[in-house]
Amino acid sequence: MTAKKDKFMWLFVFFDLPTKTKPERRAATRFRNFLLKDGYMMIQFSVYARICNGKDRIDKHMQRLQSVLPEKGAIRAMQITDKQYERTKILVGTKKNNEETKTEQLVLF
C-alpha cells in the first residue's frame, strides 16, 4: 500500500456488441462472463461496474479488459470515486430491491 491512503474507485464498463450471428453472440457472452468472473456486477444491460481499492487496481483491471476485448463492437470504461457513486440516483418508475445503489458493499472490505 502507498504512503497515502488509497481511495475506493468504481470502474464502469459500457458496451454495445453485435449479436446478429452465432459467433457474435458467443463473443458477447464470453465478454459478459469475463466481467462477472472478474468481480463486476450488472448495473443495467450492457453496463457493468466493480469497486477497486485505488488507482493501481483500476489500472490492473483496465489491462485485463484490454486483454479480452471482442473483435467487434464498442466498449467504454469510466472510473469514478466512491463518493461520486454514492450520489447515484435511480430514475425508474418503480425501484426493485436489486436496483439499490451498492454503497453497503464497502462494508465487506
Q: What pLDDT digit, counting tens, does each position of 54-99 carry?
A: 999 999 999 999 999 999 999 999 999 999 999 988 887 776 676 6
pTM reported for the whole predicted model: 0.78
Task: Give whole-number Cα distances, 12 to 2, 22, 51, in Å.
Answer: 24, 27, 9
- 14-52 per-position pLDDT tens digit: 999 999 999 999 999 999 999 999 999 999 999 999 999
- The single residue listed with the C-alpha cell 445503489 is 101
Domain ranges in the chain are: 8-108
Pick the CATH number of 8-108 from 3.30.365.10, 3.90.79.10, 3.30.1780.10, 3.30.70.240: 3.30.70.240
Are 5 and 55 contacting, i.e. CB atoms less than 8 angstroms apart?
no
Are 106 and 51 contacting, i.e. CB atoms less than 8 angstroms apart?
yes
CA distance 78 to 66: 14
